[in-house]
Structure 1
Amino acid sequence: MYTELKTVANKIIGITNRQGGVSPYPADAMNMALYIDDAPENVITNQQRLAEAINFSRDNWVFPIQIHDKEVAEVTQDDRGTNISELTEKLHGIDGLYTYDRDVLLTMCFADCVPVYLYSDLDNFIALGHAGWRGTKEEIVKKLVEAYPSPEHLHCMIGPSICENCYEVNADIKSQFSSDAEPYFELKDNGNYKIDLQGINKMLAVKAGVPSEQIEISGICTAEDERFFSYRTEKGKTGRMLAFIGTRNQS
């Protein structure tokens, strides 16, 4: 149903798998997106299954309307429930969330793009970013790190996403990246470039002040691992995983 990427004290960091739900992608799939061709009641059932599995009520989840851009927003307990049962105009155009509040589960949907998770070892700060090639180019990870005053105390997890062997971009897209990203491109015989989005996002986190030894890369490719949906492998006809990070109240 889900892959737990890390458990630190009372924090939970993970991403859902494609199996274990009730959506038709194919049968029994764990689609977590309300914005694709799936019945809303299927998505809500899938949400409830995850909520019970991770012991984090869906009433406490927050979900933004992602547009592959660079805007980030702080949320609090007052935002809990946003865009969970139905989509609204709240948090529209947001691809990065952060909070200092406990009992708030930050969530975003993915199907190849890079989920970037941040948490502090000083307090309850957590953050979640959606970094496809556009979000990576716009350095959304840097914006999330800059939202916290002490980046040396941040830890970063770069979650399952498409790897460089399964994803290529053309020269025009490559030219939009800063020169720091040059080592993460590899020219192919067809004139396009492999791109290591996971590696670029780690580099950006380090540049923003997160110590390299406090950054982990999952190394999981969503296009190769059958546990996950892949937009590119399945040519857009697929579901979406839910990446999540939250801090529970200690018992």
Structure 2
Amino acid sequence: MAVDNNRVIGITTRNGGVSAYPADAMNMAHYIDDLPANVVHNQQLLAEAIGVPRENWVFPVQTHGNRIAQVTAEHRGTNIDELTGDLHGYDGLWTIEADVLLTMCFADCVPVYLYSLVDSFTALGHAGWRGTLGMVTGELIKEVTHPEELVCIIGPSICPDCYEVNEDIRRQFNALPFDTAPFFERKDSGHYKINLKALNREIALFHGVKPENIWISAHCTAEHPDFFSYRTECGNTGRMLAFIGTRNEHDS
């Protein structure tokens, strides 16, 4: 977690909560097999740690696409206590308002954090292979006039050694507006390692973010025991919560 000039950015780990994945886990998702009270308890632990109350959080129902939505103070609290039909089908959120914490759940997909160095633009994207193919990171960047003033942080997610796709999926990436061949490595099985982190970096570059303003986490969620991993744990796992927001100065 980082707190800088009232900006709060981070992602939870699997440790320190009350959920059973396998025990004392920090599951942050309402949509898996966990008691709602456990999720709320885990949320409250995070809220106290970062100094942003749960009532200010916004959570979309992600569907591995590239739809994005602007959120405001009116959206605060959406899908935090329980899931609703609001903000369903969005894998990217952005805001220009303070005291709004953008949140999304992860367990191998790529969290992409964006914020402006010159104004209050803040965004969060969820990029698995489908979201990366749909360039959800680029869709968020398109919302700003000066992408060269953005910082892009690509968070902990699965690495190429732990994630492979078939030929049909690899071929779909040929439609992207840059050469995607360097981001795939063919295996003897005929499948391909895919570098989702590097692909999202390339998408950010293509849409005008400066290379010196892009940061990539070295952590692989499938290899690091502190993270939930959908692939490693065959779907029977919890979810981390990625978050980004800006607090009003009087709250710091």
**What is the match of residue 111 of structure 1?**
107
**What is the match of residue 192 of structure 1?**
191
**Which structure 1 segments of 5+ residues have no match?**
none
Aligned equivalents of 1:241, 1:64: Cα separation in 2: 14
Q: Deviations over 1:11-30 (max 9, x none)?
A: 01100000000000011000
Match of 2:111, SS state, is strand
Are residue 77 (structure 1) and residue 73 (structure 2) matched? yes
Are residue 210 (structure 1) and residue 212 (structure 2) matched? no
Q: Tell me which of 7, 14, 20 is aligned to 2:10.
A: 14
Letter in 2 for 1:12: V
Q: Tell me which of 16, 22, 25 is aligned to 2:21.
A: 25
Are residue 100 (structure 1) and residue 96 (structure 2) matched? yes
**What is the match of residue 30 of structure 2?**
34
Aligned equivalents of 1:29, 1:8: Cα separation in 2: 27
Segment drifting more, 227-236 vs 8-17:
8-17
What's the CA shift for 1:123?
A: 1.2
Aligned equivalents of 2:150, 2:10: Cα separation in 1: 17
Aligned equivalents of 2:180, 2:25: Cα separation in 1: 36
What's the CA shift for 1:8?
A: 2.9
Match of 1:25, SS state, is coil
What's the CA shift for 1:223?
A: 0.3
**What is the match of residue 230 of structure 1?**
229
* Runs of 4+ residues over 4 Å off in structure 1: none
Letter in 1 for 2:15: Q
User: How many residues are paired up?
Assistant: 247
**What is the match of residue 149 of structure 2?**
153
Residue pairs, 1:119-158, within 5 angstroms:
119-158=115-154
Letter in 2 for 1:187: R
Match of 2:55, SS state, is helix
What's the CA shift for 1:181?
A: 1.6
The CA RMSD measured in Å over matched residues stands at: 0.7
Aligned equivalents of 2:159, 2:8: Cα separation in 1: 24
Match of 1:180, SS state, is coil
What's the CA shift for 1:115?
A: 0.2
**What is the match of residue 245 of structure 1?**
244
Letter in 1 for 2:244: I
Aligned equivalents of 2:223, 2:9: Cα separation in 1: 22
Aligned equivalents of 2:89, 2:179: Cα separation in 1: 27
**What is the match of residue 218 of structure 2?**
219
**What is the match of residue 173 of structure 1?**
169
Aligned equivalents of 2:179, 2:59: Cα separation in 1: 31
Aligned equivalents of 1:54, 1:13: Cα separation in 2: 9
Segment drifting more, 172-181 vs 135-144:
172-181
TM-score between both structures, scaled by the size of structure 2: 0.97
**Which structure 2 segments of 5+ residues have no match?**
none
Match of 1:175, SS state, is helix
Match of 2:144, SS state, is coil
Q: Tell me which of 139, 159, 163 is aligned to 1:163.
A: 159
Aligned equivalents of 2:181, 2:53: Cα separation in 1: 43
Q: Deviations over 1:208-236 (max 9, x none)?
A: 00001000001110001111000000000
Letter in 1 for 2:141: V
Letter in 1 for 2:157: S
Aligned equivalents of 2:183, 2:3: Cα separation in 1: 29
Q: Deviations over 1:127-186 (max 9, x none)?
A: 000000000000000000001111011000000000001000000000010352211000
Letter in 2 for 1:100: I
Letter in 2 for 1:224: E
